Amino acid sequence: MIAEAKAYKGSAVQVVPVSSSFRPPKHVVILGAGPAGLGAAYELARHQTPCTLVDKNKRVGGLARTLEFKGFRFDIGPHRFFTKEERVNQLWREVLGSEFVPVQRLTRIYYGQRFFHYPLKPLDALVGLGIARSIMAFGSYLYARMAYRRREARSFEEWITFHFGWQLYDAFFKTYTEKVWGIPCSKIAAQWAAQRIRGLNLWRAAKSAFLGNRDQVRTLTDQFHYPRLGAGMLYEKMADRVRSAGSHVFLERTVEEIHVSGNRVTGIRCADGQSLEVEPDGYLLSSIPITEFVTKLSVRPPPEVLAAAQRLKYRDHITVNLTYFGPRPFPDNWIYVHSEKVRTARITNYANFTRDMTPDADAHGLTVEYFCFRDDDLWKMRDDLLIQLAVDELKSIGVIRAENVRDGFVVREKDAYPAYYVGYESHLETVRNYVGSLVNVQMIGRGGLFKYGNQDHAVLTGILAARNLVGEEHDLWFVHEESEYLEEKNRDSR
């Protein structure tokens, strides 16, 4: 067993009585201390079952961790907290208490050198696009409804065109989506749009904007909750609590090999040579990307499984984080950048989240995001050149004065977005079936389940995996479908 570096103190996890008819497993090993891994560890602690988490990063929180730099705090891209899952909401509130603070939301789209409110407001969009283009937009919507009526949309492009018309697709969906996914929208599975913008079309959006919508909870789009010191604050606190309950969190340990014997995982080996046993009646929960998981198994999976894993793609992600001093560069929490003239897809100002994210009142932590693959020029670009690119692009959008940027750093995140390319489902099924044959393993979280989900989905899959270990039965692969999810209520896709 590897030794843990530090002992931590934290508030207690509220324990639930364990049913006498079920004996929880002796020990659980969890790969990844992000939202899913910590969600599982937290729930296990509630059932008095200690576990061991292993993560390659220096800090807990995975993609939702917060980094500190010269008195500034930056998430890995902006993280809004929103959930319709009461179990997750309760957990967030239990852990953060009064440090879970309301934040006024302002988010806009930058397109054609103009800013449009997001979620779209019809009047604002009408003025921004101009009367002629707005009429064309409505006409193209009517045309699409007639033309595609009998056909099921296969691609993102078809889905959006059917629900919004070609003109609006072109203005408000195409460029941003293609920046994020790196391929034409015609090659992105329709399922992604259906999952993210479920229930919305131009007609309903216009109706709700002009006539009001009784179902919609307005405050959800105008306001969101956020941990006072950044998204990662939640996960740091969860980690403290699970440590206090007897669990171990090993950081800066990259899992290199997952030992398999028969149909069980028996242990892991980390890059530094340290290894950890999974006891004969123990379990492994894994939130590392499923593609990485299968390639790290000590017993090589059949070639068709490895081939399917290779065909599953994740999009990589870069944040260029800048410290900025001066008047507020923009009032938004973040801005989606649809313009084709710049390569960034989104810019964020953390000073507009909470004042505690920055050291002074005139200090602004700005993040400029780029989506790419790891063999792209952007991924390989030197940090100083990426910082220069980010500054130039912010300047060209017209939101900053370059001389006010004082410092910066770059974070590269591999496998940040599971990509729903047309046809991915069959590859996923092949890999999923293989992983399912390992009887003491459960995949959890965004990368583990290859599900484009938010923090709440990741935490929930962790909680449910833990509950599976204490006698409940949940199919984690279908958590999204089962739970009522945010877009139904909020109608907000990003």
Ligand X SMILES: Cc1cc2nc3c(=O)[nH]c(=O)nc-3n(C[C@H](O)[C@H](O)[C@H](O)COP(=O)(O)OP(=O)(O)OC[C@H]3O[C@@H](n4cnc5c(N)ncnc54)[C@H](O)[C@@H]3O)c2cc1C
For position 76 contacting ligand X by CB under 6 A, the verdict is yes
Choice from 46, 80, 259, 338 touching ligand X (CB under 6 A): 80
- As measured in angstroms, the least distance from the Cβ of 238 to ligand X is 11
For position 32 contacting ligand X by CB under 6 A, the verdict is yes
Bridging pattern class, strands 107-111 and 66-69: unpaired
What residues does 108 pair with on adjacent strands?
117, 335
Choice from 30, 64, 342, 410 touching ligand X (CB under 6 A): 64
Choice from 28, 30, 33, 278 touching ligand X (CB under 6 A): 33
Contact 312, 450 (CB under 8 A): yes
Per-position x/- string for 290-319, each x denoting binding to ligand X as judged by CB under 6 A, each - no binding: --x------------------------x--
For position 63 contacting ligand X by CB under 6 A, the verdict is yes
Nearest to ligand X of 34, 165 (CB atom): 34
For position 445 contacting ligand X by CB under 6 A, the verdict is yes
Nearest to ligand X of 63, 200 (CB atom): 63
| Tokens encoding 190 | 């329709």
Nearest to ligand X of 287, 344 (CB atom): 287
- As measured in angstroms, the least distance from the Cβ of 132 to ligand X is 35
For position 418 contacting ligand X by CB under 6 A, the verdict is no
Question: Binding residues for ligand X, how many (CB under 6 A)?
Answer: 34
Choice from 30, 193, 276, 288 touching ligand X (CB under 6 A): 288
Contact range with ligand X by CB under 6 A, out of 129-137, 185-193, 307-315, 448-456: 448-456
Contact range with ligand X by CB under 6 A, out of 13-21, 77-85, 114-122, 308-316: 77-85
The C-alpha atoms of residue 408 and residue 383 are separated, in whole angstroms, by 9
Nearest to ligand X of 430, 455 (CB atom): 455
Choice from 446, 467, 487, 491 touching ligand X (CB under 6 A): 446
Choice from 28, 29, 36, 276 touching ligand X (CB under 6 A): 36
Contact range with ligand X by CB under 6 A, out of 211-219, 239-247, 428-436, 455-463: 455-463
- As measured in angstroms, the least distance from the Cβ of 271 to ligand X is 8
Contact 50, 1 (CB under 8 A): no
- As measured in angstroms, the least distance from the Cβ of 455 to ligand X is 3
Number of H helices, E strands in the chain: 20, 19
Contact range with ligand X by CB under 6 A, out of 61-69, 115-123, 354-362, 393-401: 61-69
Nearest to ligand X of 94, 413 (CB atom): 413
For position 365 contacting ligand X by CB under 6 A, the verdict is no
Check the CA dihedral 299-300-305-306 and report its sign: positive
What residues does 74 pair with on adjacent strands?
67
Comparing CA positions, the residue from 483, 494, 492, 493 lying closest to residue 217 is 492
- As measured in angstroms, the least distance from the Cβ of 104 to ligand X is 15
Comparing CA positions, the residue from 28, 20, 16, 23 lying closest to residue 91 is 16
Choice from 67, 202, 416, 470 touching ligand X (CB under 6 A): 416
The C-alpha atoms of residue 250 and residue 31 are separated, in whole angstroms, by 10
- AA letter at 300: R
**DSSP string spanning 360-379?**
STTEEEEEEEEEE-TTSHHH
DSSP 421: B
Phi, psi for 69 (deg, rounded to 5): -150, 110
Nearest to ligand X of 133, 451 (CB atom): 451
For position 453 contacting ligand X by CB under 6 A, the verdict is yes
The C-alpha atoms of residue 209 and residue 122 are separated, in whole angstroms, by 7
Q: How far is CA 212 from the centre of its chain?
A: 30
- As measured in angstroms, the least distance from the Cβ of 20 to ligand X is 32
Per DSSP, the three-state class of 125 is helix
For position 57 contacting ligand X by CB under 6 A, the verdict is yes
- 152: how many CB neighbours lie within 10 A of its CB? 9
For position 419 contacting ligand X by CB under 6 A, the verdict is no
Task: Report, in this order, helix, strand and coil percent for the chain, each rounded to 5.
Answer: 40, 25, 35
Q: How far is CA 456 from CA 35, 94, 211, 405, 445, in A?
A: 8, 15, 31, 34, 10
Contact range with ligand X by CB under 6 A, out of 3-11, 41-49, 57-65, 302-310: 57-65
For position 348 contacting ligand X by CB under 6 A, the verdict is no
Contact range with ligand X by CB under 6 A, out of 48-56, 117-125, 356-364, 474-482: 48-56
Q: Which residues contact 406 (CB under 8 A, 6 or more apart)?
A: 323, 324, 325
For the chain, give the number of residues: 494
The C-alpha atoms of residue 244 and residue 206 are separated, in whole angstroms, by 51
Comparing CA positions, the residue from 405, 408, 410, 450 lying closest to residue 426 is 450
**End-to-end C-alpha distance for the chain, whole angstroms:** 42
For position 53 contacting ligand X by CB under 6 A, the verdict is no
Which residues within the stretch 463-492 sit at the binding site for ligand X (CB under 6 A)? none
**Which residues sit at the interface with ligand X, rule CB under 6 A?**
31-37, 54-57, 62-64, 76-80, 254-255, 287-288, 292, 317, 416, 445-447, 453-456, 458
